[in-house]
Chains A and B, each alone.
Chain A
C-alpha cells in the first residue's frame, strides 16, 4: 500500500516533468522558428534572470546534495562545509567571469568552452581535444546522477521499483526530454524542481527536529553535547580533511566551477550580460538551503546510528521513510529525483554540444566563420549529431552503471581536479594575448598528469592540501615558462577578435541605469 501511494505520486510528477520539457520547446516555436544548435544548446541565448537562476541553481543542487551532503554530514561533520564554501566563492567570481564568457561567445557565435578555446587559439583540434577530455570528466557525473536517482527511487518506492529499473527510468526520462527540448526544457523543469526542493527542505528542517528532538534548541544542544567532534575541522574520522584541505579545495573548486562546462552552458543561455550580473547577486543565496541536508545528516546520527561507508548517503532518506506518510515520501523522492534529472540533462546536453560542434563540426570545417554560424544549415546538422551523441553518452553511462560501476567511480575522482587544469587555458587565455596554445597545453598536461598521479596513488590530499590546487600551481608555472621561453604566437588577428574585451559593461540604456542606481541607493 505505502509503495503504491509513493510510486503513484512519483509517476505523476515524472509525467509532468516530461510534459514540461516538451511544452518548453513548443512554446518557443510558437513565437519564432529557431531550430539550430544555438536554440538547443544555449536556449537561443534568451533566458531571463529567473530562468537562469533556477537553471544554475538546478545544476549545482544535484542529488549529491540530498545523498552526499547528508552522508558527509553524518560521517564527517564539518568537512562537508566545503561544498557551501566553494559554491559561494565560485558564484561570486561568476560575477566577473560569466558576463565575460557570455559576451565573448555571443560576439563570435560560440556555444561552449570547447568552441571558445578553438576560437581563442585559432586551433579547431584544440577544441576537439578539450571536448574529449571534458567528456571523460563529465561521464562519471552522469553515472553518479543515474545511480543517485536509482537509489532514491528504489528507497522511496519501499523497494517496489528495483535499482536496475530505477537506473533505466532515470536514463530514459532524461534522454528523451533533453534530446527534444534542449537547455530551455531543462530550465522549465528546473522551476518545478526548485519549487519542490525549497518546499520539501523547508518542511523537513522544521519537522525533523520537532518530531525527533522536541525542537531546535534540544536538537542543537544534543549535537553540541554529544557529537563535538563533528562540529569543527577536521571532523569525525575524516582522514585528513582538515583546515588546509578545506581552504585549498574551496579555492580550486571555486575557480573550476566558473568554467565548468555545465556552468558555462547556463551562462551562455542568458539573455544579456547584465542578466548574469544580477543572477550572481541572487544565486549565492541558494546555498543557504545546503545547510538543511547537512543538519538532517547530523540528526540521523541520533535516529539511525551505525550507518557506515556509502550507506551513510541514505541518512536523509532513512529519516524520511521512518517518520513520514507515503505520499510525503513520494514528494520528497520526486524533489530528489528531479535533482538528478536536471543536472544530468545539462551534462548530456553539454557533451552533445561539445561533440556536435568541436568533434564532428571541427572535422567538416563547418561553422568556423564569424556571424551566426550555429543557426544555419551547418547548425542544423551539428544539432542532429549532438542529439545522437546525447543518446550515445547516456547509453554508455547506463551500461557502465550496470556492468562496470567501479570504472566511472574511479574516473570521478579526477573529474573536478582534472577540469581545474583547464582554468588557465580558458581564463588566462582570454585576457592575456601573449599566452600561446603551446603554453596552455603544456600547463594543462602537466597539471592533469600530477592530478592522476596523486589520485591514483592514493595521495590526495597531498601534504594536507588538495592535489588539484598543487596541480594548478604546477600548471600555471609550466604555462608561464613556456610562454616566456617557448615559441611566439603568429596570429594576425587583432586583440579584439581574440581576447575578451570589456565592452559589455554596463550595457544599460541611460534610463535603466538611472533606475538601477536609484534602486541600489535607496536599498542602501
Chain B
C-alpha cells in the first residue's frame, strides 16, 4: 500500500540532472586512474599522478558548485 502524497516524492525522483556533476570527482579520481598513473610528463615539476590528483581535488568544489547552480536554476522556474 502506498500513501504517496503530491510533492512528497523521494529525492531523485524529481529530475535534477545537475546532480550528475557530483560524479565528476569519481571520474577524475577513479575512472581515469589507469591513464594517469604515470610519472611523466612532470607538470611544474610535479610527477604526473600527483599533478592530476591535485587537479581533481581542486576541481571537486567546482563540480559541487555546478550541481548547486543547477539546483538554484531549477528552483527559479
Contact = CB atoms under 8 A, between A and B. Distances in A.
Please indicate whether A and B come from the same complex rather than being unrelated chains: yes
B42 A89 contact: no
Interface of A: 78, 81, 84-85, 88-89, 91-93, 95-96, 100, 216-217, 220-221, 223-224, 228, 231-233, 243, 246-247, 250-251, 254, 277-278, 280-285, 287-288, 291, 430-433, 494-496, 499-503, 505-506, 508, 513-514, 516-517, 520, 524
Given A95-B19, A220-B45, A517-B72, 6 more contacts: A231-B49, A231-B50, A243-B34, A287-B57, A513-B75, A516-B72
Interface in B13-68: 13-14, 19, 22, 24-26, 29-30, 33-34, 37-39, 42, 45-47, 49-50, 53-54, 56-58, 60-61, 63-65, 67-68
Contact of B30 (A216, A247, A287): A247
A432 B12 CA distance: 11
B13 A502 contact: yes
Contacts, number: 165
A502 B11 contact: yes
Contacts of B11: 96, 100, 431, 500-502
A251 B65 CA distance: 21
Contacts of B49: 78, 81, 231-233
Contacts of A524: 69
Interface residues of B, number: 49
Q: Which label, helix, strand, loop or mixed, suits the secondary structure of the A interface?
A: helix
A91 B67 CA distance: 13
A85 B64 contact: no
Contacts of A287: 57, 60
Q: Which 4 A-B pairs have the closest CB atoms?
A: A220-B45, A506-B75, A494-B3, A284-B60
A251 B39 contact: no
A92 B26 CA distance: 9
A224 B39 contact: yes
A524 B38 CA distance: 33
B37 A291 contact: no
Given A78-B49, A232-B37, A520-B69, A280 B57 contact: no
Contacts of A277: 68, 71
Nearest to B73: A517
B39 A231 contact: yes
B53 A81 contact: yes
Nearest to A508: B75
Contact of B42 (A220, A433, A517): A220
